[in-house]
Amino acid sequence: MTNEFSSDWLALREPYDAAARSKRLAAAFLEALPARPCILDLGAGRGANARFLDGLGSGDICWRLVDRDPILLKEASQMRAQTDQQIVDFAPDPALLDLSQADAVSASALFDLVSVDWFERFLRTVGGVPLLFALTADGEFRWRPSDSADVMIMARFEADMRRDKGFGPAMGADAPRLMAALLSEEGYLIRPAQSSWRLGAGDSAILTILVDLIADATRDLDGRPEVEGWRARRHHSIAMNDLSLEVGHIDLLALLD
């Protein structure tokens, strides 16, 4: 896989995201909002986050779907609620976001990509509204069976997670911990919940993509033969229905104290 934000990838992962997410935190987020709220969905992509939350509520939500990719936003359809799609590249500065009418901000699988500095500036921009951040990667990958190259491969992949994705050096696997600390400094009460993917037999499509994504991210470093050997062994395990993987994520609900 060459584009981890492609439409096909986002469509493939959507049901896994929905199964893993904390419905308890999502319900608490919606309960904290006024009647007929306007929620800004940051990095909305194909609208998966909005669809998930809209499905839990009354459907009486006004959505402002914000993404820099107009093609992905065009696919954000079949929503029960009113939607306003806004094409904004907010990576240079969160102040580019129009939060004037937003009662809350939510996002999914976004904040492990951003830097500490960007997140600090974002918190100064949002003005204390309720926040729900789902499926932030925490760097946990539990492979069964294990492989002799797992430690080397995953250490390199974790380093790649910290690469600049356009927002400055990414928080990567430290994102949930750093976000919670920064939110607390701003006066928010934090409620976390595990939202890990649990993949196994029957999930060969997403397992194959994850193996390739990880191998592609690490193969240009020293040790390429080891990476390609690891990739081949993992593909063989997938073909034999013998591979399972837990991918760690954290959901965070943040409400002002």
What mean pLDDT is predicted for residues 116-131? 96
pLDDT > 70 in the chain, percent: 94
- Under the banding of pLDDT at 50, 70 and 90, the label for residue 88 is very high
Q: Do 44 and 65 contact (CB within 8 A), yes or no?
A: yes
Give pLDDT, residue 60: 85
- Under the banding of pLDDT at 50, 70 and 90, the label for residue 76 is confident
The DSSP secondary-structure symbol of 34 reads: P
Give pLDDT, residue 100: 87
User: Can you tell me the distance from the alpha carbon of 88 to that of 101, in angstroms, rounded to the nearest whole number?
Assistant: 16
User: Can you tell me the distance from the alpha carbon of 116 to that of 25, in angstroms, rounded to the nearest whole number?
Assistant: 24
Q: Is residue 121 over pLDDT 80?
A: yes
Q: Do 183 and 254 contact (CB within 8 A), yes or no?
A: yes
By mean pLDDT, which of 46-55, 218-227, 247-256 is the weakest? Answer: 218-227
User: Can you tell me the distance from the alpha carbon of 90 to that of 98, in angstroms, rounded to the nearest whole number?
Assistant: 10
H or E stretch at 252: strand 244-256
By mean pLDDT, which of 74-88, 90-104, 215-229 is the weakest? Answer: 74-88
Report how far apart, in Å, the C-alpha atoms of 7 and of each of 2, 110, 199 are: 12, 16, 21
- Under the banding of pLDDT at 50, 70 and 90, the label for residue 1 is very low
Evaluate whether residue 155 is within a structural domain. Answer: yes
Tokens of 165: 């994705």
**pLDDT tens string 38-67:** 999 999 999 999 999 998 976 689 999 999
Evaluate whether residue 129 is within a structural domain. Answer: yes
Pairing of strands 62-67, 38-42: parallel
User: Can you tell me the distance from the alpha carbon of 179 to that of 176, in angstroms, rounded to the nearest whole number?
Assistant: 5
pLDDT > 90 in the chain, percent: 84
Evaluate whether residue 185 is within a structural domain. Answer: yes
Q: Is residue 4 over pLDDT 70?
A: no
Tokens of 161: 């997670």
Evaluate whether residue 1 is within a structural domain. Answer: no
What mean pLDDT is predicted for residues 205-212? 97
Q: Is residue 5 over pLDDT 90?
A: no
Domain that holds residue 116: 7-256
Evaluate whether residue 246 is within a structural domain. Answer: yes
Evaluate whether residue 241 is within a structural domain. Answer: yes
The set of residues, in sequence order, having a beta carbon less than 8 Å from that of 204 and lying 6+ positions away, is 238, 239, 241
CATH number of the domain at 12, please.
3.40.50.150
Evaluate whether residue 142 is within a structural domain. Answer: yes
Q: Do 66 and 41 contact (CB within 8 A), yes or no?
A: yes
Q: Is residue 112 over pLDDT 80?
A: yes
Give pLDDT, residue 6: 85
Give pLDDT, residue 83: 82
By mean pLDDT, which of 43-47, 65-69, 215-219, 243-247 is the weakest? Answer: 215-219
**pLDDT tens string 160-178:** 999 999 999 999 999 999 9
Evaluate whether residue 2 is within a structural domain. Answer: no
Q: Do 106 and 251 contact (CB within 8 A), yes or no?
A: no
Number of domains in the chain: 1
DSSP string, 151-209: HHHHHHHHHHHTSB-SSSB--GGGHHHHHHHHHHHTTEEEEEEE--EEE-TT-HHHHHH
